[in-house]
Amino acid sequence: MTTYEAEVPNLLPVLSRGKHRNPRKGACFMELASFLAGERWSDHPGCTHRLLAALARHVNDYTSDDGRSRLAVLVPSVIGLTSDDPVVDARIALRAATHALPVVAAERQCVMAVSVLAAEQVISELTGRPADVMDEASRAALAEAPHAAQWARRFTRRLRRSPKAFRRYAAPVIVHSAVEGVARACVADPDPLLYDLLEDAIADCRNFVRAEADEPVAVDQERWETACVTLRHRSAL
């Protein structure tokens, strides 16, 4: 498995929402990743962990047209981040929930608080960590929404979900709900929050899989420049 160095290039490709048949039709975050990785054009490439790729697609689609191109600098850093360990799914879901909980609307906070506790529960079960131990980021997020946290603790007291079921069903729902909640939060500009969420999730994945990864290699500048030219031409049409 190889990873790419995250370099800030001089040119940025123009990203757009949704799925595209080919680069001449446009590109989303993960389609650009598939192109840079030398894979078949797809928004579900094999070069990136499935849930991290889903998070990237959601962030791409919920970011504004003006802010989306800034995401392009993160694309090289998701290439090669793959793992079969279910802890990675729980970590991505937890990162999404902890980012969302303090800023989402009140009616969404209970769901995000439950998501934080459920992800923590799964991580404890998978790693053998004591059940009463929790990440600092989780404690901080719950402290910012005390009423939702109190409700969630009561709700999850008897809630038990297997890691397999969490990975397959709950984690993707948490990620989508978190991104949507941040995008619709009552803040002046949610784009930086979405960017930070994706950047932090990428960092979590990199920290987890780095022991398995080879030394990072440089971004293929020729492919990057081709994408810049093609997608910028498309945006001008």
CB 62 within 8 A of CB 56: no
Tell which wins on pLDDT, 218 or 196: 196
Q: How much is the pTM?
A: 0.91
pLDDT at 48 (0 to 100): 96
Alpha-helix runs per DSSP H in the chain: 29-36, 50-62, 65-68, 75-78, 86-100, 106-127, 136-143, 146-156, 163-165, 171-183, 191-209, 221-236
Residue-averaged pLDDT of the chain: 90
pLDDT at 44 (0 to 100): 97
Confidence band for 237, pLDDT divided at 50, 70 and 90: low
Whether the per-residue pLDDT at 235 is higher than 70: the answer is no
CA angle at 110 for the pair 108 and 111, rounded to the nearest 5°: 70
The model's pLDDT over 154-174, given as tens digits with 9 standing for 90+, comes to 999 887 779 999 999 999 999
Whether the per-residue pLDDT at 210 is higher than 60: the answer is yes
Lowest mean pLDDT among 15-19, 80-84, 221-225: 221-225
Under 8 Å CB-to-CB from 107, ≥6 apart: which residues?
none
Confidence band for 78, pLDDT divided at 50, 70 and 90: very high
At 79, list the tokens.
């290439």
- Look at the alpha carbons of 130, 206, 46, 18 in this order and tell me if their dihedral is positive or negative: positive
Q: What does the CA dihedral 219, 69, 19, 37 come to, rounded to 10 degrees?
A: 0
Going by the DSSP 8-state scheme, the letter that residue 172 receives in this structure is: H
Confidence band for 110, pLDDT divided at 50, 70 and 90: very high
In angstroms, the CA 62 to CA 178 distance is 11
At 176, list the tokens.
């989508």
At 200, list the tokens.
């932090």
Whether the per-residue pLDDT at 204 is higher than 80: the answer is yes
Residues in the chain: 237
Q: Which of 225, 174, 197 is nearest to 71 (CA)?
A: 197
The identity of residue 34, as a single letter, is: S
Going by the DSSP 8-state scheme, the letter that residue 67 receives in this structure is: H
In angstroms, the CA 34 to CA 220 distance is 12
